[in-house]
Structure 1
Amino acid sequence: MSAPRTPQEALAFFTKLNPSGIKLGLERVREALEALGHPERRYPALHVAGTNGKGSTCAFTAAALQAAGHHVGLYTSPHLVRINERIRVDGVDISDEDFGRAILEVLERYPSAVSEPMTYFEFGTVVALWHFARVGVDVAVLETGLGGRLDATTASSPVVTAITPVSFDHMEYLGHTLAAIAGEKAGILKPGVPCVVSRQEPEALEAIVRKAEALGVPLWVEGKDFAGETKADGTLSYRGPSWSLEGLALALRGPHQKQNAAVALACLEALHARGVAVPLEAARTGLASARWPGRLEEVPGQPPLLLDGAHNPAGVEVLLASLRALYADRRIHLVFGVVGDKDRGPMMRALFPKCTSVQLTPLETPRSLAPAAYLDEARSLCADVAAWSDLDSALDAARRKAGQGDVVLCTGSLFLVGMVKARLG
């Protein structure tokens, strides 16, 4: 692969890296960051790991930091429609011109990335950390990709870390017990750097506590050191080591967002204690203004489309709780697509019987599972199931079946949510 010379060629170079390639380990990223003069050390960062809820937690936190007047970098994955969504400054996706320029600058300083290409996620992480330093952010919020211990983002230098709820996902890389998976997530912990931990299953919490004790990491544990409580009027109250907030309104929908918001507030309180000033009113404003597309996102219409990126059993349980809270007594017509390496059985058994109809669709990724491969399994769980060769046909079928007051739900994969959003423009 030849070295790119223009921002446009640089973007093409990046997109040619394998998006599905996974090569765990920090050696390549650390080598690149050293060649770049350690951009990750030029700003304080919050580093967030977990199985579910980490993206929403990052969105809440970044919005509050911006409301506090900080110049904020946000790095998340995966993207829904465009790769630019992964790197944001003050809520705005990186432009093609800035993205291409940042890639060129990284390759100029670390030409080994051309002769020995890094993975898509590794290279994107390095570019993000470089771009944040280049534009002079005051603080960055970084979401892990997979796991934590060997995730590319773990080469960063956070002043606070956080672990959202841990459940079963990516078992082929992280292990087959909650303790093993939590141990991998806890790999983001740094000696002496405080870590905010959401409520966890006992074996997951034990693994995190064990790692924290070994490194001398102060833990802020939900239910012990901080807590959020839903009030009768639907608002959230928060109690932390120093902060106390009442009447908090959340921009993101669903009962589970109360926990994500509480974890975000604890992160903000910890950042404030570490020198990143966050007034209480900025925290309130951030929770009420955060945006996180594709998570319980309703697109108005007849019928309305509900887009949710649930892609593992725990995520589906959270989705079902939200459906009960927000769409009780409304018939659900499901458009479902899944990648082949996901634990689809528990997802289908929990979700399909709650739906009036199910339309199975392939995804636009080599990892997609063909609908025919699980059509019989699906038909044992719902009376009205069909398999389609493309998303447009599946969506049309769901819309035709939906009557007055019904909802079309698209879920099973963030790939699917991105495909629908791309079609909606």
Structure 2
Amino acid sequence: MDPHRYLASLQPLAIRLGLERMERALDALGRPDRALRVLHVAGTNGKGSTCAMAAAALQAAGHRTGLYTSPHLVRFNERIAVDGAPVDDAALARLVGEVRRACPWHEAGGEGERLTYFEFATALALLHFAEQGLGAAVLEVGLGGRFDATNAVRPLACAVSRIGLDHTALLGETLDAIAREKGGIFKAGVPAVVAHDQPPEALAALRAEAARRGAPLAVAAAGYPGPLALAGPHQQANAALAAAALRLLDGAGLPVPEEAIARGLATARWPGRLETVGGVLLDGAHNPDGAAALAAALPVLHPGRPVELVFGVLADKDHARILHALAPAVRALHLVAPRSPRARAPDTYRDLAARLVARVDAHASAAEAIACARRAAADGAVVCVAGSLYLVGEARGLLAGEPAAADPG
């Protein structure tokens, strides 16, 4: 069976937080996670960038390195990479078959027993990394931390990037509640580090959670002194967090010299985050903190140039606060629904957008919205796509000539 079609069949399953199914699957697979030396990274904003930088540094240190991230932008394969190369379709098909054979209860049982899309993907990643005999693996938390599928793994070190308000229906309405969920990745005796730029309420909760769980906790520096490949002022804190986490790995017995840290941070790539493709700037900016980071980065990266923003958002996101953060930095908004059943229709917030930005239009497709923004940018303005990683993935596929997959669930 086509692995992509099979994975797509898992999409309708609702999010079901908890580690029981994941532990059962890993046991059935012979605990592939126990063969891995893992850096585990949680957070609201910047965790993917932190993972990308850490993985690049581990490669620079001479370790074959696995990187597991989500969501994908164009194809599922991006989520599971070894030394920067996504898993190929043949290997993915074989891995899907292995997990299905090892876990017959996944398909035979009721919905409460079945692995979710993300749990199945996590099992695929851990199995692939173990079979590849890697020297290191970097795992990005999918949602929260405490009950995330990746939390079935015991890492060498943990890191938590900046925490903000996102996924509040599942994680809690306050920074304290969200931080405690994300601090759920802390484990007794496993060193952890958190980003310097934490809101005070979140930092206090992370400190309390670490103390309760017996995890030695440090706070990273505010910035990194060397050159960075990833664009934007906010990457300073992410780079400092990655460097601090890598030093924890080094202290735990996985050698990562300072020159490898410097080389990794200077060469890391992280698609769809302040990335320019086909002359268009792409950035996820899918929550208020991410939107504020993009708004701050635009005048730094493109001083004096107005911005034509192609914007789309999912229905469960705080679209009003995202727009309020972005509006001062843009000249016009080109609204479009991301290609996802969870998308928010532009007509439901066009009036709000028009109160914040002088020129607003709505489009039926990302291709149409980008074309309109490009025409409007003939005077030298910047065309930017933001608001949803699903929209960024679709735009990246269009601009790079590779069609994006639909919503991965």
Q: TM-score range by the shorter chain?
A: over 0.9
Helix, strand or coil at the partner of 2:16 = coil
Aligned residue for 1:203, secondary structure, equals: helix
SS of residue matched to 1:196: strand
Aligned to 1:280: 258
Instruction: Output the amino acid matched with 2:134.
Output: V
Ranges of 4+ aligned residues in structure 1 off by more than 3 Å: 8-11
Q: Which residue matches 1:292? A: 270
Give the SS at the match of 1:342: coil
Summarize the alignment of residues 209-224 of structure 1 with structure 2, pairs less than 5 Å apart. 209-222=207-220
Match of 1:173 among 155, 166, 170: 170
In the other structure, the counterpart of 1:115 is: 108
Distance in 1 of aligned mates of 2:268 and 2:100: 34
Contact 1:337/1:362, CA 8 A, preserved across alignment: yes
> What does 1:12-27 align with in structure 2 at a 5 Å threshold?
12-18=5-11, 21-27=14-20
2: distance between equivalents of 1:20 and 1:385? 36
Q: Which amino acid aligns with 1:215?
A: R
* Matched ranges for 1:234-313 at <5 A: 236-237=224-225, 248-300=226-278, 304-313=279-288
Return the match for 2:367 from 392, 414, 425.
Answer: 392
CA distance in 2, matches of 1:390, 1:336: 11
Residue of structure 2 in register with 1:5 after alignment: none
Which one-letter code corresponds to 2:356 in the other structure?
L
Distance in 1 (alpha carbons) for counterparts of 2:374 and 2:89 = 35
Hey, what does 1:243 align to over in structure 2? none
Partner of 2:356: 381
Offset at residue 190 of structure 1 (A)? 0.7
Q: Deviations over 1:18-42 (max 9, x none)?
A: 1773111111001100111111111
Aligned equivalent of 1:192, options 168, 189, 192: 189
Query: What is the SS of the residue equivalent to 1:47?
Result: strand
Which has the larger displacement, 118-127 or 397-406? 397-406
- On the 8 A contact 1:305/1:409 being kept in 2, the answer is yes
Q: Counterpart amino acid of 2:286?
A: H
What amino acid is the match of 2:213?
L
Counterpart Cα distance in 2 of 1:19 and 1:84: 20
Aligned equivalents of 1:388, 1:215: Cα separation in 2: 49
1:35-64 CA distances to partner (integer Å, 9 max, x unpaired)? 111111111100000000000000000000
Q: Following superposition of structure 1 onto structure 2, how do residues 95-114 of structure 1 map, counting pairs within 5 Å?
A: 95-114=88-107
CA 1:10–1:324 in 2, change beyond 3 Å: closer, same or farther?
closer
Counterpart contact for 2:4–2:76, Cα < 8 Å: no
> Does the C-alpha gap of structure 1 residues 350 and 71 become closer, same or farther in structure 2, counting only changes over 3 Å?
same
Match of 1:161 among 135, 158, 161: 158
Cα offset for 1:288?
A: 1.0
Greater shift after overlay, 207-216 or 339-348? 207-216
Contact 2:336 2:366 in 1 (8 A): yes
Question: What are structure 2's unaligned runs of at least 5 residues?
Answer: 402-409
Partner residue of 1:77 out of 70, 75, 86: 70
Q: 1-side partners of 2:67 and 2:256: how far apart?
A: 17
Gaps in structure 1 of 5+ consecutive residues: 1-7, 230-235, 238-247
Alignment check: 8 A CA contact 1:73 1:141 kept: yes
330, 337, 340: which one aligns with 1:362: 337
Call closer, same or farther: CA 1:145–1:283 in 2, change over 3 Å.
same
TM-score (norm 2): 0.94
Counterpart contact for 1:11–1:103, Cα < 8 Å:
no
Asked whether the 8 Å contact 2:38–2:157 carries over to 1, the reply is yes
Matched, 1:66 2:38: no
Q: Which amino acid aligns with 1:158?
A: P
Per-residue deviation at 1:254? 0.6
Does the 8 Å contact 1:19/1:121 carry over to 2?
Answer: no
